[in-house]
Chain A
Amino acid sequence: MTDTTTTAPAATDPGDVDGPRPRLSRWLTVGAASLVALVLALWLMASTSNETDTVANIPTADSADAGFARDMAVHHQQAVEMAYIVRDRTTDPDIRRLAYDIAQTQANQRGMLLGWLDLWGLPKTSPDGYMTWMQGGHMGHQTEDGSLMPGMATNTELHQLDTLSGNKAEIFYLQLMTTHHMGGIDMARACAQQCAVPQERKLAQGMVDAQQSEMKVMADMLKERGAALR
């Protein structure tokens, strides 16, 4: 039993007392080193993304940003054109004011979209067609007779509008323009969700809001004329 009594003090030997201490400081060292590495990594990532900002923030030709800018510029152009036609076909101040408002707004917005494409150095047209950037595709729209995207009137309908006058022209315009806004709102909503450039998302959301309220105005104007949507 003496053996145990002699080995017992060894457990409290000062050489063994500092056993767990270096282990703790070792983990502290590793922890500190990892922390430094993590901070450095975050800093590096932040600084690289800053340096590449000008590169990374330019949308590519197949992005939602570029696609929306290209396609909505075309969609808007027809709204501008229809507004001019109806202003020549009626003297009604309400319709002429509505058409003036739409023409001014959409011509300006179209200029913004085309200007962004210029800044990004991207083409205004794509051989791949329209609305290919939209998640869920172009809703099976057949491009025919100048109706290139959902909501767009055909060339035949535009010519028809140009032959009507007064009340008939007003009603047909309100019908065509309501359909036009419906197609436009779907596309603008897609950009408001998918576009990466915040200014463009904001413009798209603005289109959704404004065109929805214009659709209510047009519904009332149709009712005043004893007509409904086609």
Chain B
Amino acid sequence: MSKTSKKTAAADRKARIEEMRRAEKARDRRNRIITITLSTVILAGLVGWGAYAINSANEKKDQKAAAAAKPISGEKTWDAKKLGRTHVETKVDYPMNPPVGGNHAPQWMTCNGNVYTKAIPNENAVHSLEHGAVWVTYNDKATATDIKTLTDKVTKTPYTLMSPDKTQSGTVMLSAWGHQLSVSKASDPRVDQFLTKYVQGAQTPEPGAACTNGLTAS
């Protein structure tokens, strides 16, 4: 073998090594970039997901709170501070019909899902409202279907009571302490809304008081 060919071979080797080192460096750089990019993407994803989770949870809570605080469409309210809570043995002249609060009889009307088919004394029913009951009343315009629908709901729901009231303006009226809703038929979805919201609801002046062992005869 000649000297020159040996030299060429050495130069070739050197060049190959140079190239391998260059490739090595390029690989290193590429891997560094991949590592950094990947870590950044993972981190950004986690931060974003966390922020989204917190945000959506808060939003859901806000929506629920807003729905719970919202009055039922069409309901009337009275300032609870102005409704008397004294027990009286006399008849009371209430400014609204049916009454939604005020002074009342010492004995509450039994309101454990009771359906009364005859009118009941306002003074006893108001005492039930003070205990957290919803009082369902209807006038002569209520159909047999209306009465059946309401009877089914009331008998399944402790802390409600039901009775006819010929003198009231609405066909079907629901009263809780300080709140009243009038609907033209029992199938109105607001009936369930009113019951859900006010049966032992936040308006109750005397939470925990009984709906059993009251007056039952009308």
Give the interface of A toward B (CB within 8 A).
Answer: 2-3, 6-7, 10, 13, 15-16, 19, 22, 26, 29-30, 33-34, 36-37, 40-41, 44-45, 47-48, 51-52, 55-56, 58, 74, 77, 80-81, 84, 111, 114, 118, 121, 123-127, 129-130, 143, 146, 148
Q: How many residues of B contact A (CB 8 A)?
A: 48
Contact B53 A52 (CB under 8 A): yes
Q: Does B113 contact A (CB under 8 A)?
A: yes
Q: Which residues from 111 to 161 on chain B have a C-beta closer than 8 Å to any C-beta of chain A?
A: 112-113, 155-159
Determine if A33 and B28 form an interchain contact, defined as CB atoms under 8 angstroms apart.
no
The segment from B79-87, B90-98, B205-213 found at the interface with A is B205-213
Contact status of A41 and B42, CB under 8 A, knowing A10-B13, A55-B58, A74-B158? yes
B11 contacts A by Cβ under 8 Å: no
B196 adjacent to A37 (CB under 8 Å): no
Beyond known contacts A33-B38, A52-B57, A124-B200: 13 more, CB 8 A cutoff: A6-B9, A10-B13, A16-B20, A33-B35, A33-B39, A40-B43, A41-B42, A48-B54, A77-B158, A118-B202, A125-B195, A126-B196, A129-B156
CB distance from B125 to the nearest CB of A (A): 19
Contact of A146 among B46, B155, B213 (CB under 8 A): B155
**B1, B6, B36, B46: which has the most chain A beta carbons within 10 Å?**
B46
Label chain A's interface by main secondary structure. helix
26 CB contacts below 8 A, A to B, read A15-B17, A15-B21, A22-B24, A26-B31, A29-B31, A30-B35, A37-B43, A40-B46, A45-B50, A51-B54, A55-B57, A77-B112, A81-B112, A111-B208, A114-B208, A118-B202, A121-B68, A124-B199, A125-B195, A125-B200, A127-B192, A129-B156, A143-B156, A146-B112, A146-B113, A146-B155
